[in-house]
Each structure stands twice: as C-alpha cells, then as structure tokens.
Structure 1
Amino acid sequence: MTHLFATSATRYHPPHHGRPARCEGSEVRKTFMGVRLRRLREERGLKQVELAQALGISTSYLNQIEQNQRPLTVPVLLKINQAFGIDVQLFSEDEEARLITDLRDSLTEAPEPIALAEIRELATNMPAVARTLIALHRRQRDLTERNEAMAAQLGDQWIEGGGARMPFEQVRELFYANYNHIEPLDQAAERLYKEAGFAPRRVHAGLIERLRTRHGIAVALAEPGAVQRRYDPATRTLHVSPDLRQGQQAFQMATQLAFLELGDLIDRLADDPILTGPEARRLARIGLANYFAGALLLPYADFLAAAEAQAYDIEKLGRHFGVGFETICHRLSTLQRPEARGVPFFFIRVDRAGNISKRQSATDFHFSRVGGSCPLWKVYEAFVQPGRVLRQVAQMPDGRTYLWVARTVRRTAGAFGEPGKTFAIALGCDIRHAPKLVYSRGFDLTDPRAATPIGVGCKVCERTACPQRAFPMIGRAVAADENRATLTPYPVA
C-alpha cells in the first residue's frame, strides 16, 4: 500500500527493524482526502470523536482533515487500515488520476468548458459523484451508438434531415447531400480561369497578379511555422507559408480569393437547413472556399478531359497540373456535372490511428456513423508501404464491389525534431467503372473470388465470421462459451 503515495520526488518507507519511517525526496506531497474520510466515517455510523479515538488523534485534528484544512498523512492512513481493514485504494492518488481521466472524457461535450482544476476537485472530494457522472455518460454513449447503428442499417434516407450532432459532421452532410459537387462554384472557377488566362502550372503566378491588380493585396512569405495562410486586412497582405509547395501555396491564395470575390455566393450556399448553427455555417464557408480553390486549380472541363485521356492516373495528373496526390484525388471525387460526369468516386483520408479526417462520396459507398471503420480497407495497409500506390478489389456484405486505390502522403514540419503529418489517401469507385481506370490492369474483374470481403465498420458489420472483427455487432448477443474457442472474435449467438 505504500506505493500509493509515491511521486517522482518522494517515496514512503514504513518502519523497519525499529527504525522510524522516512521519506526520500524533498517533501511528501500533501494529500487532501477529507470528503472520502468523512464518507468512510458516516458509512460506519461513527461520530467524529469516536473515529478520532479509534485513530489515536484529537477530534479537532480529525475535523481539520475532513475539512481539507490538513492533509491525510501516511501515518493516519496506516491507522485507518489497522482500525478498519479497508482497502487503502479508497485514498489512492492512482484512483484519483484515473477518475480525472475518465471525467475529462465524459465531459468533453459539456455545454461549457470545465477547467481541469474543477474536475480534479470533483474527483478528489466527491468520487462517488464523479463515478456516477462517468456511468451516465457511458450509458448515454451506448444508447447513441445503438441508435446510430439502427440508422445505419435502415439507410441514409431514413435519417435525412435529422442533422448531424457536431458542426463538422453537418458540413460533411452538406457535401454528401450534393454528391460532393457544387456546380455554382465550379462554374465560377471556370469563368475566372479563362478570364485570367490561367494555364496548368501557371496558376500560382496568375493568382499573385490578380490579388495585386484587382484587390491591392500583396502576397508575402510568412515566417516558417504552423500558419499556412494569414490575411492582414490592415496592410492588405496575404502571408503564405514558405514550407508549402507551389501548388499548395496557389491553393491557399485561391481560397482567400474565394472570400474576396465570391463571398455572397458562398453565403447563399452556406444558408442551408442542414447547417443548424453559426459554427457549422462558418466551417461550411471555409469548406466551400476550399472547394472553389480546388476547382480553380483544376477547372472542371479541362481536368475531366485530362483525367479520361490519362485513364485516371493520379500521379500523371498531378505532374500535369502541378499539384499533389491528395488534391487530385479530392478533385476526382467532385466530377458529377449532370451533362459531363466523370467516374463517381468516394474519397477518404485517414491517420495511423484509423481516424477519418476527410471523407467525400459521389457514390453509394456508405461510411459508418458509429465510429471506426473496417480494418480490411486497403487504405490502412498503405502505412506499411509508404509512398507506394496500392490497389484492392473489395466487396461489401450486400454484394456491392469496388476498386480501391490508396497511397500515403506526408507533410513535414520544415525543421528537424518537429512533428509532421502522415496520412493515407484512398479513392474508390464501383467495379463497373473500373475498366476506365489504369489501376484495374491485371485484375480479373469478373472473378468474385478476387474481392476482399470488407464492411462499413465492426459495430454494424454483418460478417459474423470475420477474423479481423474488433467489436461485437451492436444489437446481437455474443456466443460466450467457456468450453469452445473460435478464430472469430465475438461470435454471434
């Protein structure tokens, strides 16, 4: 039990062979556990004077401990253990730290920010209340996941108009409802591209000139660091990061140009009932400006013609237009003009932890609303072979089959020792469009056995025999049999 009060600077040693107890380090950390001690006394029906006599301390000293005016010392803790035989974990700093962690997780969606000091006070002085809050949050989260799983099984149309919970999810729904194609912005980008006389690999210089002549804005390099774009209205200067490649700098300049020249159009597009609050609308305006920037660098008609001529070869298209792998993939997922459609793609970006930070779809491919995804998606294997283009023919439980293309992209911080960012990008289309893609070469697209069986996410996946399952399916009982073990985790009863 003595380890409960060990810190990086102190450690308690109990009496041994007649020697007095001692502490290593400069001082013992003061531990205030007054509420817990008072609860212990009340549970045993003791008055303060009775507990003080049992512990061999004065009543006034016990009262000061219970009021957190004096710390609970190790000798007093030892006397509590000797007198009542209780589990000293009740007074453990480890238990307090765990409660603080769980409370912070449970209160992330609180109506207002809660300071760490208040959370620590709650965990230290009212642990039973803290555990109750944690239990209520877990119950609410479980109910939410069950509801979302039901919605996922019933289909997107059933929940259409219901509104996503978080503002960034509402923005995703806005683009999803438009099949990731915003025609007014595409038209505006094509008009500007022609009017300004832009051409592949010459957009960067053209944007600098347009900002200068039309808006009196000078473009300057910012200090190296985290800021990619910063506009100063007072000096009419647009700062862009020198750490960005030229195509990335052009994207940032085009985004700022969208706010300057298309503000009214962006406001009208962001005035959508899917977006239920000011934060969602602000995020939508940024997303729409980014859409325009991509459309300006890669104008619809020219880009579609080049994509079809190059059999949708992402790296060739990147070299031709002077932009990166991710930008090309994102733009390919938007080519859904009614009179000139490209291949309908879905697009996702994930990190090493499996978090999906971007997802767009012009297809019927369904992303789970319940969190997580399928570990058999090829996009996760891309981290094992960085920089290499990987392919996969994959089939969903309902029989829909897709061709996937995946590759990692890396963004360095520009200095030694500073963390960069590594993502895996994936682009996919229905198998019926696969012959148009260079990436289908070598696959027997008619052989159903060539497809990897995948799902949306483990919690809603119907593949009961999948050995890669990470969670049991929501709403289905697990066949728990102590006399039988199977290769499949969480076998369904």
Structure 2
Amino acid sequence: MSQRKRKLFLGSKVRRLREQHHLSQAELANRLGLSPSYLNQIENDQRPLTVQVLLKMGSVFDIDLTDFSEEEDDRLVAEIKDCLEDPLFENEKVLLPELKEIVTRSPAFARHFLSLYQSYHQTKQNYVGLAEDVTGDEAVRSIEGPQFPYEETRDFFYYQNNYFDSLDRAAEELFQQEGMTLGGGEGQFIDYLQRKHGINVIVDADSERLRQFDTRSRKLILSKLLSLRQRVFHLAHQICLLEQASRLDEIIAKARFTNPESDAVCRVGLANYYAGALLMPYETFLHKAQQERYDIERLQILFNVSFEQICHRLSTLQRPTSKGIPFYFLRVDAAGNISKRQSASSFHFARVGGACPLWNVHEAFAQPGKILRQVAQMPDGKTYFCIARTVSRTEGGFLMPQKNFAVGLGCEIAHASQLIYAAGIDLNDKEAAVPIGVSCRVCERTNCSQRAFPPIGKRIHINENEREFLPYRFES
C-alpha cells in the first residue's frame, strides 16, 4: 500500500506547479476538464493523481512528466535525514513522515538546508584543521582535511543524477564526426591527437607517472604499466581536457563549491565522465545494453572496456529524452572503504561509518570473479536488485601488490525484470529480501544481528544479568 501511495498521491507537486503558474484551483480545473472540488481533493491527497490527469497536465504546462517522479524527493529526504543524525540536532528530532512532507512541499527549502549544513560542515572541518595546525598533530589533520573536496564533488554528481548532458552529447558528436569505431583500441585516439592537436603519444616503461602531458613538447607519455583498456581511457580523458576546457569551467562554476580544491577534483571526475561517454556513446550504448538485457560481460566484449567501466557507464544513462535504468554504482575495497560511488537512483550511500555488512558487495571478496545477486530492502521499505563482483588490477612487478576491489551495481526492484541477472529469481517474494541499511550509525533497524555500532541518538539498554541474541538492546 505504501508503494502505491508513494507513486500516485502527488497533491503537493500539483499545488506547487499550479502556484508557479499563478493559477487558481478553478482556473486549473477548467484547463484540465475537472471540477474544482475534484482538483482540491487531488491537491490534498484525498484522491490519487490518475494517469489521465497526469497526461493532461503534461500537455497543459508542456512539462516533462518525470518531474512528477518522487525519486528526487526521496534522495533529498535521505540526504537531510543523514544530516539530521548529526549530534547538533539530537534534541530536535524530526519524524520521517514530517520530513517527507517538508521536502514534498518545498524542495527548494530542502536544498537550501543541505547547502547550509554543508557550509557548517566545512566550517567545522576548517576549525579542526586550524586547531591541528596549532597543536601540530599531523595524523588528525591528514584525516580531516583532504576528504572534504571528494565528498563535495560526489554530492554534486549525485544531485546531477550522475548525468551531464552537454559533455555526453559532445563526446557522442565527436565519435560520430570522426567515424570512430566501437572498441577500436588506442590507434584511433593516438591518430586523432596527432592530427587535431599535434600531440605525440609515447608509451614509456620507465615513466614515473601513469599519464603525463608536456605542454611545451606536445608529448603525452603513458606508462607501459597501464593495460590497453586503461591507456585508451587515458587518451579519451586527455582529449576532454584539450577540447572541453570551457565546458568543464561552466559546469564547475554552476556547482558553486565551497572548497577551492573541489574544483580540481570535479574537473578530473568530469573528464573521466567524458572519457566513458566517448568510449561508449550514449544512444549506441543504451541500445546495446537494452538489447543484451544489461549483460555486463557481453557489453565488455562489444565495447572493449573493463567490467568496472561498463558498470559506471550504466549509472549515467539519464538523458531526459532517452533514459536507461537508474542504477547506483560503487566500488569498495576489502576493508569496506568506498572509493567510488555514483547514483542515478534514490539509493543513498553512507556518510557516517561503513556500509551495511549484509550488502552483497562485501560478500563478493569471498567469491572472486563471480557475479553475486541479491534482493535487498532498505529501512524505508524500498527494495533493490543488486549485483556485485570483484575486479583486480596489477601494477606490474613482483613487489607491486595487486589491487582488489568489489564493484556493486543495482536498481529499484521495479526495473529488475529487464536485467538478465534476474533470471530465475522471484522478484515478488518480499520475504526473500535481505534487510540492509545505509550504515550502522544511521540505520533504524533494532533487530539486526550484524549491527556493529548502535545508531546515533539511541540509548543502549544494558543489563548485566542478561545476554540476548542481538548485539545491542535499546531503550524505547
């Protein structure tokens, strides 16, 4: 019932749209061919918004009907809920239904709140850095300082649904204009850099860096330790830096980062985004993904890229006129540290503590190279279909340790039937869903046997004469 209500009762959105166009209820009702009382009931969530009425609204206001999706609201709710777990707010608890109502009625206010909290968070980080400068504690300063630019950049990508239209289309246009071929290897990019920019590409086994561009000699030096697929990606990355500099500046300017270092971090992230879009042009890639039922290993063969690159590209297919499945994507190491995370879905990643141990992305390390499948349910009732697999990298040489990661990709259960990985799984069996959370510090589940820490704001009940199966018992 809750899933049905979440999708169809959109009274606040209807009211907000009407007020933005300065219309009375009677005027809008007349345009929609409804009675004022019927529209009043819709706006007050006493009647659901039917498909017929929704289509009429789309024609009356000339809007994208995806604007009525509650997915963006869910993302804002998750972000604000995470912020409210800060001890700063421990005396002013906001219940989830109240928070959803606030976000639905005023998403602009919700975004302003997040912006203010992020400014507060940075001020706090700056204070810690200043204090450590005074005390000379290098260890703490190294932990607190450098992480914030990456967090701020990740948030920016998250709020953009991990999609940048101008960059994506620019990459697609270049691919078509130059007659490039899918999986064509590094030759076509090396030739393009020489013809268009007079740049010589050198693969050097003695290079101390993976990629180095000398602006004076017009030489791009790539390490021989890079695999062929990695070299191709670096070449596409360099093309972006050379040709899309002004477009990168525009996107970064709109982000309005509070930390100057975030500009540089974002520029690298955007260039990586462009590189993926150039190797896997949007419309072609989306068509092939749908044709292959999102079979990642099949797509690897077609586009000659890595498993991780396919997963990341799948999480970016959110062109308004041609959307793919909204996926989340992440990469973690064996210690549970998240080094990459992007999401076009409403799936929310942890800001506090590690990820949920019940999530299959951790189990992947126990079965290297095997794709694991999982139906998982978050505390808010949303169910996701998740796949995970390990990926490895070698830098070359006996003393160079192998890098091992687990890559996770997932979507809401409503889209799972489109995936080849759902074959043989009963997607309607709610009892089979694994109950996971964002992280122990903010998870509301009180009956989890895998809980590592008590949630923030909960008092632990301790009785020395009792020992229960659950690691923590909380006071009501």
TM-score normalised to structure 2 length: 0.71
Partner of 1:347: 329
Partner of 2:39: none
Residues in 2 aligned to 1:338 and 1:479: alpha-carbon distance in whole angstroms: 50
Tell me, yes or no, if the aligned pair for 1:225 and 1:413 is still in contact at 8 Å: no
Partner of 1:491: 473
Q: In structure 2, which of residues 387, 393, 412 is the aligned counterpart of residue 405 of structure 1?
A: 387
Tell me, yes or no, if the aligned pair for 1:170 and 1:274 is still in contact at 8 Å: no
1:146 partner letter: P
1:161 Cα deviation (Å)? 2.1
- SS at the partner of 1:427? strand
Tell me, yes or no, if the aligned pair for 2:318 and 2:326 is still in contact at 8 Å: yes
Partner of 2:410: 428
Partner of 1:139: none
1:330 Cα deviation (Å)? 0.2
Partner of 1:210: 192
Could you tell me the percent identity over the aligned residues? 48
User: Residues 258 and 311 from structure 1, CA distance in 2 versus in 1: closer, same or farther, beyond 3 angstroms?
Assistant: same
- SS at the partner of 1:418? coil
1:278 Cα deviation (Å)? 2.1
1:160 partner letter: L
1:276 Cα deviation (Å)? 1.5
1:298-377 → structure 2 map (5 Å cutoff): 298-377=280-359
Partner of 2:245: 263
Residues in 2 aligned to 1:215 and 1:373: alpha-carbon distance in whole angstroms: 45
1:447 partner letter: D
Partner of 1:184: 166
- SS at the partner of 1:391? strand
1:203 Cα deviation (Å)? 4.7
2:184 partner letter: R
Tell me, yes or no, if the aligned pair for 1:152 and 1:368 is still in contact at 8 Å: no
User: Residues 275 and 489 from structure 1, CA distance in 2 versus in 1: closer, same or farther, beyond 3 angstroms?
Assistant: same
Residues in 2 aligned to 1:307 and 1:452: alpha-carbon distance in whole angstroms: 27
Partner of 1:171: 153
Residues in 1 aligned to 2:94 and 2:362: alpha-carbon distance in whole angstroms: 26
C-alpha root-mean-square deviation of aligned residues, in Å?
Answer: 2.1
Partner of 1:161: 115
1:446 partner letter: N
Residues in 1 aligned to 2:346 and 2:186: alpha-carbon distance in whole angstroms: 35
Residues in 1 aligned to 2:85 and 2:474: alpha-carbon distance in whole angstroms: 22
When structure 1 is superposed on structure 2, of 225-234 and 383-392 the one drifting more is: 225-234
2:445 partner letter: R
Partner of 1:101: none
- SS at the partner of 1:373? coil
Larger Rg: 1
Partner of 1:49: none
- SS at the partner of 2:387? strand
1:473-488 → structure 2 map (5 Å cutoff): 473-488=455-470
Residues in 2 aligned to 1:283 and 1:144: alpha-carbon distance in whole angstroms: 27
1:10-409 → structure 2 map (5 Å cutoff): 145-147=86-88, 158=110, 159-162=113-116, 163=118, 165=122, 166-223=148-205, 227-409=209-391
Residues in 2 aligned to 1:170 and 1:265: alpha-carbon distance in whole angstroms: 20
Residues in 1 aligned to 2:467 and 2:314: alpha-carbon distance in whole angstroms: 46
> 2:424 aligned with 1:439, yes or no?
no
Partner of 2:45: none
Tell me, yes or no, if the aligned pair for 2:85 and 2:442 is still in contact at 8 Å: no
Residues in 2 aligned to 1:379 and 1:273: alpha-carbon distance in whole angstroms: 31
1:148 Cα deviation (Å)? 8.5
1:224 Cα deviation (Å)? 5.1
1:366 Cα deviation (Å)? 1.0
1:332 Cα deviation (Å)? 0.1
- SS at the partner of 1:268? helix
TM-score normalised to structure 1 length: 0.68
Tell me, yes or no, if the aligned pair for 1:173 and 1:274 is still in contact at 8 Å: no
Residues in 1 aligned to 2:445 and 2:409: alpha-carbon distance in whole angstroms: 23
Tell me, yes or no, if the aligned pair for 1:148 and 1:369 is still in contact at 8 Å: no
User: Residues 461 and 226 from structure 1, CA distance in 2 versus in 1: closer, same or farther, beyond 3 angstroms?
Assistant: farther
After superposition, give the CA deviation of every residue in 1:416-474 in whole Å (9 maximum; x if it has no partner).
12112111000000000000000101110111011101011001111101000000011
- SS at the partner of 2:352? coil
Residues in 2 aligned to 1:152 and 1:386: alpha-carbon distance in whole angstroms: 41
Tell me, yes or no, if the aligned pair for 2:375 and 2:432 is still in contact at 8 Å: yes
1:465 partner letter: N
Residues in 2 aligned to 1:263 and 1:151: alpha-carbon distance in whole angstroms: 44
- SS at the partner of 1:272? helix
- SS at the partner of 1:160? helix
2:458 partner letter: R
Structure 2, unmatched stretches of 5+, are 1-83, 123-147
Which is richer in helix?
2
1:430 partner letter: E
Residues in 1 aligned to 2:290 and 2:158: alpha-carbon distance in whole angstroms: 24
Residues in 1 aligned to 2:240 and 2:398: alpha-carbon distance in whole angstroms: 34
